[in-house]
Every structure is written in structure tokens, then in C-alpha cells.
Amino acid sequence: MAPTQKGKQGTKGAKQIVEENKTTLAFYRNMAIGCATTSLLISFLVFEITKTVVFMHILALLILGGAYQFMFFMSRPKFSESGSLLDSGNDLNMEGGIAENVKDLIILTSGTLLLALISSYFWLVLLLAPLRAGWMLWGSIIQPWLSSRNSQEENPEVDEKKQKKMERKMRRMR
């Protein structure tokens, strides 16, 4: 399992964040490499090699590599010329952060690689990633934008009232 903390979340020091990021990156790197290697060896040595299998393995390897590189880029610490820590990078273990979604993508892809050894239909599990991204886009950006736009269109009188009230306040101040 990924390294986690129990109990109340305290504040973390920059050095602690750097160390936790290193262990988190190592864990997800090992997971990705282990699952990819196992899947490639078993599928190419035991099963029939088809264009679909090759394409899906390449796609999965690109997803794993891209996700790991993104996490590595996010968590890269910055050091001064003297070697002191200037910036610890983003905390990969922060709850609700983008790194959490990238870690989920690595877990999903690694699991799909192993499940695809049972049946080729398990490659369809990779479709959950764009579905989740679309759901998150809808919930955090599109739906709030549409609802705020609709509320403004429904109450144009309120905006006029607010405008008149502001004008009266400005006249009183002069």
C-alpha cells in the first residue's frame, strides 16, 4: 500500500515533504514497472500476440510513463547553490490534490494491465479514466458556470436594483 499517515494532519516541514515524495514516487514507480513487466512477459510469452494487444500495451505504458513523469515533475524540489532547500515541490500525499488523481490513474492502469491477462475485455476498464475526468470537469467547472449564468438571466431586475442602489450610495458620498 501507499505510505499514509494516521490521525490528525499536522503541518509538514519542507524536508519531510521531500522525503515523503521520494517514497511515494518509488512506490508508484515500482507498482507501474512491476505490473507492466509482469503483463508484458505473460501476455507475450503465453498468449497470442495481436495488434490490439500490442496497441493496448503501448497505450498503457504511455499512460504509466506520462503519469509518473508528471508526478516527478510536480514534486521536484529546488535547492540553492549552497545545497539548502528552497522549495520542496508539491506535496504528493496532500488530500484532494491533483497528485491524488494521477496516483489513481497509475493504479487503474496497472490493474487493467493485470486484469487484461484474464480477458481482453478488461482493456475497456481504461475508459474509466476519461469518464472520471469528464465527471470532474462537469462538477467543478461546467455545471457551476451554467447554474451561475442561468441565475443571472433569471434575475435581471436584481442586477438593476443593485445598480440603482450603488448609484444612490455614490450620490450620498459626494
Per residue in 52-94, pLDDT (tens digit) is 999 999 999 999 999 999 999 998 888 888 877 777 778 888 8
* DSSP at 120: G
Contact 38/114 with Cβ under 8 angstroms? yes
- Whole-number pLDDT of residue 4: 54
CA–CA gap between residue 168 and residue 166 (Å, rounded) = 5
CA angle 141, 139, 123 (to 5 degrees): 110
- Whole-number pLDDT of residue 140: 82
- Whole-number pLDDT of residue 13: 80
Contact 39/113 with Cβ under 8 angstroms? yes
Phi, psi for 95 (deg, rounded to 5):
-75, 135
CA distances from 136 to 41, 107, 142 (A): 35, 18, 9
Contact 135/118 with Cβ under 8 angstroms? no
- Whole-number pLDDT of residue 80: 81
Stretches in the chain below the pLDDT threshold 50: none
CA–CA gap between residue 92 and residue 66 (Å, rounded) = 16
Contact 126/112 with Cβ under 8 angstroms? yes
CA 147 to chain centre: 26
- Whole-number pLDDT of residue 48: 86
- Whole-number pLDDT of residue 172: 82
Hey, where are the domains in the chain? 14-126
Contact 64/143 with Cβ under 8 angstroms? no
- Whole-number pLDDT of residue 121: 92
